[in-house]
A and B are shown apart, each in its own frame.
Chain A
């Protein structure tokens, strides 16, 4: 595997379900990100991890819970979601987010989430 991979690619869940999204990067980067992409809206940053430490949490509801067990893996745990949470969830990685290179992010293909 190369680049950034995400599983599953598609997910349909009920409002009472619990599910997890997985992201893995094979680029040797030390920062990882979760974004939400909804139609007609800009990419919204949700969480940033640098060297496995969460350094940014953009007022995301607690029904989204991130986990970064090591610098190559990132999870997004989902529970009690709402229909408005339906969107494309993208994972990305980069060099140290304190540097200029942090803007050169490498994205996975995303997970298309539908909440019924």
Chain B
């Protein structure tokens, strides 16, 4: 059974204080790992796709990396508008492969 564990559950940062969110996964063959951002009262918003170990993707202050067992979402010099819940999901390789999500990390960036 595919499993996704995100840590920490919640993270509070000061504006400009860089940090990382972790996503550990267990899947029988990884087709893709996905990061989403969810703001309160809204649906998740797609951020990144990572397909293989060693791959990195960047978008503004966010950088996602992937190893064979986990992914990190690095946040450099965060701003209050980066406050959101960040979700990680994995896609297994077979057939109509659907996503298995983690519970998310709630990030709060204070000015």
- Hey, which bits of chain A sit against chain B, CB under 8 A? 4, 33, 40-43, 45, 48, 50, 55-56, 90-92, 97-98, 100, 102-110
Contact = CB atoms under 8 A, between A and B. Distances in A.
B46 A98 contact: no
Nearest to A92: B43
Contact of B96 (A40, A41, A56): A56
Given A40-B103, A48-B96, 14 more contacts: A42-B100, A42-B102, A42-B104, A43-B99, A45-B99, A92-B43, A102-B97, A103-B49, A103-B91, A105-B44, A106-B46, A107-B43, A107-B44, A110-B43
A42 B4 contact: yes
A104 B98 CA distance: 11
Interface string B78-111: 0000000001010100011111111110000000
A45 B31 contact: no
B96 A45 contact: no
Interface of B: 4, 31-32, 34, 41-46, 49, 51, 87, 89, 91, 95-104
B91 A102 contact: yes
A98 to B, nearest CB: 6
A50 B49 CA distance: 21
Nearest to B39: A109
Contacts of A43: 44, 87, 89, 99, 101
B34 to A, nearest CB: 5
Nearest to B4: A42
A33 B103 CA distance: 19
Contacts of A102: 91, 96-98
